[in-house]
């Protein structure tokens, strides 16, 4: 499921344990992040005490990044104090775990223009997490992100549009620093209803000419007809 390009890991990446740990919950082993807001839940996830520290279980059926971890991704190119631009924040499930990882010294800018999910995002995540900045804007127009400034250490894109990759690349060109990490969730049926998953993912990867592809991960069985491409910006 996990394909690697042979690229070197980021030299400044922290050990796995600083990003997520493995815990047992409900009889199964799953990733978890140290809870930045002890006692607080975002989406009814379980809270687990391990070594005196509270962790939030990271459900792979609710989070595509967790699904990638379950399918072999051993290290996330996001670390403590990083700045992350998150496209498609929705209700904040995955974003909240990234918030845990970057910690109080980092920042996660959550972009979404859907009023349908905005209230849940604000009530469940933004209200409790000082490092999460809501950006209620259209990801197609990154020049209108008045709350976002400076370069990002990572861009995470989880948007349902036929041109989702082009939208994400446009954001990367504006905000991602050289060598920064790019997480692209490929929602195959949002792009093409007829072609095979493998074909669509390969075509989207071909669009990343300014990136070095580090991993391509099939997200089955957690997310049908989804994949994740993780890359690093070259220029």
Q: What local confidence, expressed as pLDDT, does residue 150 receive?
A: 94
97, two tokens:
């775990």
At 121-134, the pLDDT tens digits run 999 999 999 999 99
Q: Are strands 107-111 and 132-135 parallel, antiparallel or unpaired?
A: parallel
Q: What local confidence, expressed as pLDDT, does residue 13 receive?
A: 37
Q: Between 116 and 190, where is the model more confident?
A: 190
Residues 73, 225 contacting (CB under 8 angstroms): no
At 2-50, the pLDDT tens digits run 554 333 333 333 334 579 999 988 888 999 999 999 999 999 999 999 8
Q: What long-range pairs does 196-200 form, CB within 8 A, spacing at least 24?
A: 197/225, 197/227
At 145-192, the pLDDT tens digits run 999 999 999 999 999 898 999 999 999 999 999 999 999 999 888 998
Q: What local confidence, expressed as pLDDT, does residue 203 receive?
A: 93
DSSP collapsed to 3 states, the chain: CEEECCCCCCCCCCCHHHCCEEEEECCEEEEEEECCCCCCCCCCCCEEEECCEEEEECCCCCCHHHHHHHCCCCCCCCCCCCEEEEECCCCCHHHHHHHHHHCCCCEEEEECCCHHHHHHHHHHHHCCCCCEEEECCCCCCHHHCCCCCCCEEEEEECCCCCCHHHHHHHHHHHHEEEEEEEEEEEEHHHHCCCCCHHHHHHHHHHCCCCEEEEEEEECCCCCCCEEEEEEEECC
Mean per-residue pLDDT for 108-131? 93
Q: What local confidence, expressed as pLDDT, does residue 110 receive?
A: 97
Q: What local confidence, expressed as pLDDT, does residue 26 receive?
A: 81
Q: What local confidence, expressed as pLDDT, does residue 193 receive?
A: 84
Per-residue burial over 9-35, b = 16 or more CB atoms within 10 Å of its CB, e = otherwise: ebeeebeeeebbbebebeeeebbbbbb
Q: What local confidence, expressed as pLDDT, does residue 17 receive?
A: 52
Mean per-residue pLDDT for 62-82? 95
Q: Which residues pair with 22 in a beta bridge?
A: 31
- Residue found under tokens 């250490």: 153
Q: What local confidence, expressed as pLDDT, does residue 192 receive?
A: 83
120, two tokens:
């849940």
Mean per-residue pLDDT for 58-75? 96
Q: What local confidence, expressed as pLDDT, does residue 116 receive?
A: 83
Residue 1 scores a pLDDT above 90: no
35, two tokens:
């809870």
């Amino acid at each position: 499921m996990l394909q690697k390009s042979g690229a070197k890991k980021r030299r400044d990446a922290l050990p796995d344990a600083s990003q997520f740990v493995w815990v047992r919950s409900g009889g199964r082993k799953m990733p978890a992040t140290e809870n930045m807001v002890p006692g607080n839940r975002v989406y009814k996830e379980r809270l687990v005490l391990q070594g005196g520290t509270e962790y939030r279980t990271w459900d792979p059926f609710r989070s595509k990044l967790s699904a990638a971890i379950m399918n072999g991704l051993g290290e996330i190119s996001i670390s403590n104090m990083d700045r992350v631009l998150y496209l498609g924040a929705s209700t904040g499930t995955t974003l909240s775990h990234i918030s845990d990882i970057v910690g109080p010294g980092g920042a996660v800018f959550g972009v979404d223009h859907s009023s349908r999910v905005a209230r849940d995002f604000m009530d469940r995540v933004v209200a409790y997490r000082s490092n999460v900045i809501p950006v209620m804007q259209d990801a197609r127009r990154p020049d209108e992100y008045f709350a976002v400034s400076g370069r990002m250490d990572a861009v995470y894109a989880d948007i349902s549009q036929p041109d989702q990759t082009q939208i994400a690349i446009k954001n990367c060109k504006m905000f991602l620093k050289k060598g920064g990490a790019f997480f692209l969730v490929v929602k195959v049926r949002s792009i093409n209803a007829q072609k095979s998953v493998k074909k669509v993912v390969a075509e989207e990867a071909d669009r990343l000419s300014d990136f070095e592809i580090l991993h391509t991960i099939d997200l089955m069985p957690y997310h049908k007809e989804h994949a994740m491409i993780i890359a690093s910006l070259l220029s």
